[in-house]
Amino acid sequence: MPYRRLPKTNQARLRSLQKAVGMGEMVNLYELSYSYELWEKARGFLIRYERALFENKQCSENQFNSSKKQQESARNARMYISHFIQVLNMCVVRNEIKKEQKKLYGLDPESNFVPDLIGDDNLITWGRNIIEGEQKRLLQGGVPIYNPAIAKVRVHYDIFWEGYNNQKVLRSSTSRTIGSISELNKEADTLILNIWDEVEAFYAHLPMEEKVNNCKKYGLIYYYRKGEIEMEGSE
């Protein structure tokens, strides 16, 4: 014997509600297999639910597209910061810059290693350190470092920083829509359950195969246990 199972995904909920509401628009309301009052509630809710799912889809797509651009911006910023530090270290080796001045950048005077730039937090920290450190050294009368110049480093760092903040906003928007949908799902599940109960009760007098086929038109979802053969003509 087939058994029904309430939808568990947003799209499954949407399809079930669309079928139930759609039947009310196709048949005479006096022939509707569940109450007109419930149909009115479902129709109004469906509008809100579709809008929430669409907004979530848009936010997710915007976040995904922005993320790809942000990854490229981060790679560029990381490369320029790394190259600047390497040139700074070479200047120290050539005695063009005193090694003590590396402290202005937050760097260890006794080490020529490039610090860890993996991850946004490290990139933000070292980007600021390098930009501010070069400004401090220049104010002390130092000769600017070139190839890359700090202005070039700043350009790529600023692009990264702007994208980083934009991603935070987009993630927040996506999270907000997910929270809204989670709350709406509670109402959706109650509506679907009530509709299904009324529809099954309406067709309770019919033979099982005819009952199931009619109920499916209203979005009810049926499953068959292992070994059972699905009824002929059912979807």
pLDDT tens track for 164-179:
999 999 999 999 999 9
Whether residue 133 contacts residue 157, with contact meaning beta carbons closer than 8 Å, is answered with no
Closest C-alpha among 222, 217, 220 to residue 23: 217
Query: What's the CA gap between 174 and 167, in Å, rounded?
Result: 10
Q: CA 9, CA 56: separation in Å to the nearest integer?
A: 14
Provide the whole-model pTM.
Answer: 0.76
| φ, ψ (nearest 5 deg) of residue 28 | -60, 135
Inform me whether the pLDDT recorded for 156 exceeds 90.
yes
Neighbouring C-beta atoms of residue 55, cutoff 10 Å: 16
C-alpha span between 75 and 186 (Å, rounded): 42
**If you average pLDDT over residues 126-150, what whole number do you get?**
96
> How does residue 228 score in pLDDT terms, banded at 50, 70 and 90?
low
Residues 85/115, Cβ–Cβ less than 8 Å: yes
Domain ranges within the chain, ordered by starting residue: 3-223
3: three-class secondary structure by DSSP:
strand
| Phi-psi sector, 91: left (phi>0), alpha (psi -120 to 50), beta | alpha
pLDDT at res. 27: 87
Give the SS3 label for residue 162: helix
DSSP assigned state of 191: H
pLDDT category at 180 given cuts 50, 70, 90 is very high
Count of C-beta atoms within a 10 Å radius of residue 132: 14
For residue 229, the model assigns a pLDDT of 58
Report pLDDT for 227.
Answer: 64
Cα distance between residue 177 and residue 156, in whole Å: 32
Cα 90 from Cα 39, distance rounded (Å): 75
For residues 52 and 105, what is the distance between their CA atoms, to the nearest angstrom? 48
Question: In the structure encoding, which two tokens stand for residue 99, read together?
Answer: 């090694």
